[in-house]
Amino acid sequence: MTSNDVRERLASLLEQEREAMLTGRFDDLGDLIQEKARLISLIEAGHLSPDSLVAIRQDADRNARLLSAALRGFMDASARIKQVRDGTAEFNTYSQSGLRQVVGSGGQRFERRA
């Protein structure tokens, strides 16, 4: 595989990874890992020019930021679901004048009977 092939394939792979994250197809990311690792091993063997490495690094950094943001979103959603499930969540809404109002202060527990 030539250095140009490696660069083009890795750029394509990083774009596929980006599209998967932007469209919420996180299951697709697992399929890309093996090929990504193989291409990275070719980079480590010196198959890319410094200019190509800079471009690939920028794409990889962009994807890392997307993945980090997605992880934060998952963690926030998980925390919110836990609040709702535990009955400790507040419900916020807006008044007619646009001010935020707390409808429920949370903390109230429902008695569950069998």
- Residue 70: predicted pLDDT: 93
Say if 113 falls within a structural domain: no
Say if 31 falls within a structural domain: yes
Predicted TM-score of the model (pTM): 0.68
Say if 110 falls within a structural domain: no
Say if 111 falls within a structural domain: no
Say if 67 falls within a structural domain: yes
- Residue 114: predicted pLDDT: 61
- Residue 17: predicted pLDDT: 95
Domain total in the chain? 1
Domain around 16: 3-104
Long-range contacts of 55-59 (CB under 8 A, 24+ apart): 55/7, 55/11, 56/7, 56/10, 56/11, 56/14, 59/11, 59/14, 59/15, 59/18
Say if 69 falls within a structural domain: yes
